[in-house]
Amino acid sequence: MQIQHHKLTDAPFKESPNQGGPITVDTIIIHYTGGASAESSIETLTNSEAKVSAHVMVSAEGDITQMVPFNAKAWHAGKSHYGDRTGMNQYSIGIELDNPGVLKKSGQNYVSWFGRKYPEEEVIEAVHRNEDFTRFWHIFPEEQINAAYSLCELLIKNYDIKYLLGHEEVSPGRKTDPGPAFPLDKFRDKLLLEDRSSDEPDTLPGEAEVAVPRLNFRNAPGTHGQKITQPLKKGTLLKIIRKEGDWYQVEAPVKGWVMSKYVKTDDS
Ligand SMILES: [Zn+2]
C-alpha cells in the first residue's frame, strides 16, 4: 500500500460528501465507530445528511476503505481541543475502527447499545483513561489492530505526524473512543517514540503467566497504583514490556503493572 495524491493506492475509495477544505496535517486521531458493522458505518459517514465523516474506516477483519483524501478536512472530531488548539479536524487525519464500544453485561452475555450479544472472550473489563470505574469493552481483533498500525506507519512516512491521539483525548468527557481495549499508548510508543536506528537489548523475559490465583493489576508500579481491572486470574498470559524494581509493566491486553514475583516466566 502507498499513498498517491493523498489517496491509498490499494484500498477502495468511497468518497464522502462530508468534507471541507485543505488541512495542515500533524495529527492522527483514532476512533471507534460504536456501530453495528463497517458497512453500516461507512453508509453513515458518506451520507450528506449525517454531516460526519472520517478519512478511513478499518473493518474488524482489517479491510480499509478511504472516504476523504488525506489533505482535505473530514468531520470526525467535532468539538475538540489539544494543547492550545481547538477544532482538531483542521489538523488531523481521522481513522475509524469498526467496534461496538461499551457493552453491558446481561446474564452470560455482553450487549451493545444496539442490542447485539457478544461472548465473554470478545470482551475486556477495564477502566477508561478518563474514568475511575471498570466497564466492559469489545476487543479489537488482531487483524484490525495490525491494519490500523500499518496505516499509521504509512501516514507517518507520508505526512509530518507529531501526535497520535484518541478521540477521548481531544474531546474528553464527551467521547470515550477508542477506549481502553485499544492499545493507544503502545501505538504512540512504537510509532512515534521508538528509535529505529538501534536494536533494543532484549533483557526482558517477554512473556509470562500469572502464577497466583488472583493478581492485582495496577496503573503504576507500586502498591499505591490504582487497580485498573479485576485481579488477573492464574494462568493469564502477559506480555512484559518493562521492568521497574519489583514490578513488570505488562499487556493483558490493556497496559498495567504487576508484581514480578507473582508471575512465572521462562527464566523463572
Ligand atoms: Zn470518535
Q: How far is the CA of 43 from the centre of ligand 1 (A)?
A: 16
pLDDT at 197 over 70: no
Q: How far is the CA of 197 from the centre of ligand 1 (A)?
A: 34
Query: For residues 148 and 242, which has the higher predicted lDDT (pLDDT)?
Result: 148
Q: How far is the CA of 123 from the centre of ligand 1 (A)?
A: 20
Q: How far is the CA of 109 from the centre of ligand 1 (A)?
A: 25
Q: How far is the CA of 111 from the centre of ligand 1 (A)?
A: 20
Which band of pLDDT confidence, cut at 50, 70 and 90, is reported for residue 123? very high
Which residues have CB under 8 Å from 31's CB, separation 6+? 54, 76, 94, 95, 96, 97, 166, 167, 177, 178
Q: How far is the CA of 178 from the centre of ligand 1 (A)?
A: 7
Mean pLDDT, all residues of the chain: 93
Q: How far is the CA of 206 from the centre of ligand 1 (A)?
A: 33
Q: How far is the CA of 76 from the centre of ligand 1 (A)?
A: 6
* pLDDT tens digit sequence for 162-188: 999 999 999 999 999 999 999 999 999
Domains, in order of start, for the chain: 3-100+140-193 (3.40.80.10), 207-265 (2.30.30.40)
- Range in 114-118, 177-181, 223-227 the model is least confident about: 223-227
* pLDDT tens digit sequence for 2-61: 999 999 999 999 999 999 999 999 999 999 999 999 999 999 999 999 999 999 999 999
Exposure string of 127-156, with b = 16+ CB inside 10 Å and e = fewer, is bbbbeeebbbbbbbbeebbebbbebbeebe
Query: For residues 193 and 156, which has the higher predicted lDDT (pLDDT)?
Result: 156
Q: How far is the CA of 235 from the centre of ligand 1 (A)?
A: 35
- For the whole model, what pTM was predicted? 0.74
Per the CB < 8 A criterion, the answer to whether 31 and 94 are in contact is yes
pLDDT at 80 over 90: yes
pLDDT at 196 over 80: no
pLDDT at 158 over 90: yes
Q: How far is the CA of 201 from the centre of ligand 1 (A)?
A: 37
